[in-house]
Structure 1
Amino acid sequence: MSTLTTSRTAPAANRVRWPISARLRKTILVTHVASAGAWIGVDIAATVLVAIGWARSGDDRTDVYQALADFSVVPLLLSALVAGVVCLVTGVLLGLGSKWGIVRYWWVAVKLVLNVVACALLLFFLGPISELASGEQPLQDMWFVAFLAISALVLLGFATVLSVFKPWGRVRRK
Structure 2
Amino acid sequence: MASNGVPWRVRPITRKAMLGVHIVTAGAWIGIDVILGVLVFTALWTADAGTVAAAYQVLPMLFWPVLVMALGCLISGVALGLSSRWGLLRYRWVITKLALALTLTVLVVLLLGPSLDEAAAAGQRLAETGALGAELSGLIYPPIVSTTALLLATALAVAKPWGLRRRASVPAPAAGRPSERVR
TM-score using structure 1 length: 0.84
Distance in structure 2 (CA, Å) of the matches to 1:120 and 1:129: 15
1:91-138, Cα deviation, whole Å (9 max, x unpaired):
000000000011100000000000011112211221132132134984
For 1:3, the equivalent position in structure 2 comes to none
Q: Which amino acid aligns with 1:21?
A: R
Distance in structure 2 (CA, Å) of the matches to 1:31 and 1:139: 41
Distance in structure 2 (CA, Å) of the matches to 1:160 and 1:85: 16
For 2:35, the equivalent position in structure 1 comes to 45
Does structure 1 residue 120 correspond to structure 2 residue 110?
no
For 2:176, the equivalent position in structure 1 comes to none
Distance in structure 1 (CA, Å) of the matches to 2:133 and 2:115: 11
For 2:116, the equivalent position in structure 1 comes to 129
Distance in structure 2 (CA, Å) of the matches to 1:165 and 1:15: 22
Higher helix share: 1
Which blocks of at least 5 consecutive residues in structure 1 are unaligned? 1-9
Aligned-residue offset at 1:145: 2.0
For 2:8, the equivalent position in structure 1 comes to 18
Which blocks of at least 5 consecutive residues in structure 2 are unaligned? 126-131, 169-183
1:121-168, Cα deviation, whole Å (9 max, x unpaired):
211221132132134984642223211011111111111110110111
% identical equivalent positions: 35
Distance change in 2, residues 1:87/1:102 (3 Å) = same
For 1:67, the equivalent position in structure 2 comes to 54
For 2:148, the equivalent position in structure 1 comes to 154
For 2:171, the equivalent position in structure 1 comes to none
Q: Which amino acid aligns with 1:47?
A: G
Do the aligned residues in 1 keep the contact of 2:63 with 2:116 (CA within 8 Å)? no
Q: Report which stretch shifted further, 76-85 or 27-36.
A: 76-85
Does structure 1 residue 141 correspond to structure 2 residue 128?
no
Do the aligned residues in 1 keep the contact of 2:25 with 2:69 (CA within 8 Å)? yes
Point out 4+ residue stretches in structure 1 off by more than 6 angstroms: none
Distance in structure 1 (CA, Å) of the matches to 2:87 and 2:9: 12
For 1:7, the equivalent position in structure 2 comes to none
Distance change in 2, residues 1:107/1:147 (3 Å) = same
Aligned-residue offset at 1:29: 0.4
Do the aligned residues in 2 keep the contact of 1:66 with 1:139 (CA within 8 Å)? no
Determine which structure has more spread, i.e. the larger CA radius of gyration: 2
For 1:171, the equivalent position in structure 2 comes to 165
Write out aligned runs for 1:52-131 (5 A): 52-57=42-47, 60=48, 62-71=49-58, 73-123=59-109, 124-131=111-118
Distance in structure 2 (CA, Å) of the matches to 1:20 and 1:139: 54
